[in-house]
Chains A and B, each alone.
Chain A
């Protein structure tokens, strides 16, 4: 573990919270090799979680108004979807109508809160699944919390998740960063780390095919 040191975010007491957050975010996104090479596998998991959570909050703040407008614009389709689900009482529909009405601030708040609450859970779940595959591919040298730290720091591109097209690219960059980070922190090959990150997607190839299919159709639809 020679040459490994706390991240700028983990030195926020000395650098200041904003500088620490900004420098770490920049390093993860634009200098990942240097960042992952110096990331300590035994560093504090809560600091990594806090970083990822703040990034998720920033993403949610950007995403909330865009998503609210999108939902309001597609409300007729949502109404159809709800009518095919289990029978909702008639008065629920009125509430749903009000909830998703154009520019509803309640929707924005709900999306924001859901994003905030969901982040730590989704980080633990993602890290658990990734680490299971890390163990399978022999890439789990430093244990679960090292994987967790990579997953949390690799959330940096989440800030862009709300922006059309850029959001999808950012999501893919997040996966690449996770594989890259796992290779460096668990001191394994990039192939093994990439296999651990992408194994589930490849195994459940329908999801990939489906995702690609839906993505392609969305791109085609935007052109037509």
Chain B
């Protein structure tokens, strides 16, 4: 992995776009009681009883926007990590846009890219197994 640091700049890029995405999501979760809307909910879980990989993400957004990290982790661990990364992106983007703090450019080798993808897929699968186990067999996993 190679990191290169550009000169101080305010060039808008993917981190700033992700920060905006996270900011909108967290503000909505903070001020709008989305989960209480009568039509809100997962059709798959309601019909089959099995959760999807994204089950609990509304609760994660709601709890993270109230800084309840433990509660968010309980709802969906990978979602909590994603929400934390979005929050980090908000801080980094603010520093970048306000104080011209340069964002490093990351260059990965082909092998590193493959390992990152494999890691993400594994994380999604393990997270789904955990969420499903909590929903279906709470007596074994303390759900």
Bound-state CA distance A84–B55 (Å) is 23
List, in ascending order, chain B residues with CB within 8 A of A207's CB.
52, 54
Cβ of A78 to closest chain B Cβ, rounded Å: 11
CB distance A128 to B21 under 8 Å?
Answer: yes
Cβ 8 A contact of A128, one of B20, B36, B57: B20
Flag if A210 contacts B42 (CB, 8 Å): yes
Contact among B17, B43, B120, B124 with A206 in the assembled complex (CB-CB below 8 Å): B43
| Interface pair B13/A143, CB less than 8 Å apart | yes
* A84-B38, A125-B24, A128-B21 known; A203-B124 Cβ under 8 A: yes
Q: Is B136 an interface residue (CB 8 A)?
A: no
The residue on B at minimum CB distance from A200 is: B54
Which of chain B's residues have a CB closer than 8 A to the CB of A67? none
Q: A204 CA to B58 CA in the complex, in Å?
A: 12
B71 within 8 A of A: no
Please report the total number of B residues contacting A with Cβ < 8 Å: 27
Q: Which residue of A lies closest to B17 (CB)?
A: A128
Contacts of A50 in B (CB 8 A): none
A200 to chain B, nearest CB (A): 9
Asked if A124 is at the interface (CB within 8 A of a chain B CB), the reply is: yes
Q: A124-B17, A138-B113 are in contact. Are A85 and B36 (CB under 8 A)?
A: yes
Contact of A136 among B14, B18, B24, B120 (CB under 8 A): B120
Nearest A residue to B43 via CB reads: A210
In the assembled complex, the Cα of A206 lies from the Cα of B20 at a distance in Å of 25
| Chain B residues closer than 8 Å to A206, beta-carbon distance | 42-45, 51-52, 54-55
Residues of chain A having any CB pair with chain B under 8 Å: 81, 84-86, 121, 124-125, 127-129, 131-132, 135-136, 138, 143-144, 148, 203-207, 209-210, 213-214
Question: What 16 additional pairs, Cβ within 8 angstroms, besides A86-B36, A144-B17, A204-B52?
Answer: A124-B21, A125-B21, A128-B17, A128-B21, A131-B17, A132-B18, A135-B14, A143-B13, A144-B13, A203-B53, A206-B42, A206-B52, A206-B54, A206-B55, A210-B44, A214-B43
